[in-house]
Structure 1
């Protein structure tokens, strides 16, 4: 199998962390790095693999491709069920999905929009609205505050165990540094961040 990814981007990192947590060796994949700034993901060749032009993409040996980081994680959750990162009961799966979606929609997406609209990194291919970027940065900061309260009496975001929701939150919070959003004086969030950042997978 082959992975198309971009080392600095949050969604490919999310998948890499997930794979390492599953005990899957990244060296088992052929990995091709794409330069998003140069538009490698916009080529006609890459569009045949993912018409949405995003990374990561998993290409199977027969040429079929799977995109969207959580869809790829779901594939590996089913083919490598231990340890369960998406839940092992109906209630756990639903709860983890709820929290992961919250981390995607209310944290990772606002951080990504703050990056795109305040830095203008992709201004050569999309309209940029700095005021919207600033608004999304403010939304992300509110979730930092929410998570600090949420984590006051629990070790992990969705469950008593580490899950994909923690992975999504970690990559979002780390990526937020590029728009100067930091944990700061949020002790419970900082303690959680220390716990998840010291896992071997975090360096994947």
Structure 2
């Protein structure tokens, strides 16, 4: 297998932390998004979507979504499970992971991609020209703040988003909290449950 990634970006970081926690070591090549290497012909041949991460399997199949790569790797490396140990936990983890992506990560991405020169014509990932909509910056901020509050309420008397152990949902929500810093947002001071949870997950992930 070979992993194409840019570790500082949020989606690649989700997969990196997943692999790091489970002790998975895969040959890796950096695709520098700052230099727009995702749009080179050589990388398009691997992933026409021009996104990272992309996990290329030994048979040539390429997985271009974090959740699909994690599901595949979980089946190969079941120790220290991150996708649940019962059917209910698995369903709840996938459900929370969906919420984190749609209500959290996508909200920050709206704020990031719809302002500034770097993302001119690239308001969505990929190589299609998508113009910025400045009004989405404010909407993204509202969505993010609402989601932080939803996490705060959910974490009352809970150590993790699902069950009694860290999961992919926790990893992705942890990445969200850091990604929010890219748009000068952070966990609200009044969200004590979320703050405590963040410190707990950071310690388990090694900071």
Residue 97 in structure 1 maps to residue 94 in structure 2: yes
8 Å Cα contact 2:7-2:16 kept in structure 1:
no
Separation (CA, whole Å) in 1 of partners of 2:149 and 2:46: 39
After superposition, the C-alpha distances for 1:161-196 in whole angstroms (9 at most, x for unaligned) are 111000110111101001111113111100000001
In structure 2, the residue matched to 1:114 is 111
The answer to which structure, 1 or 2, has the higher relative contact order (CA under 8 A, 6+ apart) is 1
Deviations 1:110-168 (Å, cap 9, x if unpaired)? 11121111344321543111211221121011111111111121001122211100011
Contact 1:114–1:137 (Cα < 8 Å) also in 2: yes
Do the aligned partners of 1:58 and 1:65 also contact (CA within 8 Å) in 2? yes
- Unaligned 5+ segments in structure 2 are 123-129
The structure-2 alpha-carbon separation of the partners of 1:187 and 1:119, relative to structure 1 and needing over 3 Å to count, comes to: farther
Distance across 1 between alignment mates of 2:162 and 2:59: 36
SS at match of 2:33: coil
Greater mean alpha carbon deviation, residues 49-58 or residues 187-196: 49-58
Structure 1 residues 120 and 196, CA gap change in structure 2 (3 angstroms): farther
Cross-structure match for 1:197 = 202
Instruction: Say if 2:167 is the partner of 1:170.
Output: no
1:77 corresponds to which of 74, 78, 83: 74
Q: Do the aligned residues in 1 keep the contact of 2:11 with 2:53 (CA within 8 Å)?
A: yes
Q: Which has the higher helix share?
A: 1
* In the alignment, structure 1 residue 14 sits paired with structure 2 residue 10: no
Q: How does 1:30-41 map to 2 (within 5 A)?
A: 30-41=27-38
TM-score, normalised to structure 2's length?
Answer: 0.89
Kindly tell me the number of residue pairs found equivalent between the two proteins: 199
Moved over 3 A (4+): 61-64
Cα distance in 2, alignment partners of residues 138 and 119 from structure 1: 19
CA-to-partner distance for each residue in 1:42-78, whole Å, 9 max, x for gaps? 1222122112111001123444322111111111110
Is the CA contact (8 Å cut-off) linking 2:121 and 2:132 kept in structure 1? no
Cα distance in 1 for residues equivalent to 2:24 and 2:179: 24
Scaled by the length of structure 1, the TM-score of the pair is 0.91
**Equivalent residues of 2:54, 2:65 under 8 A apart:** yes
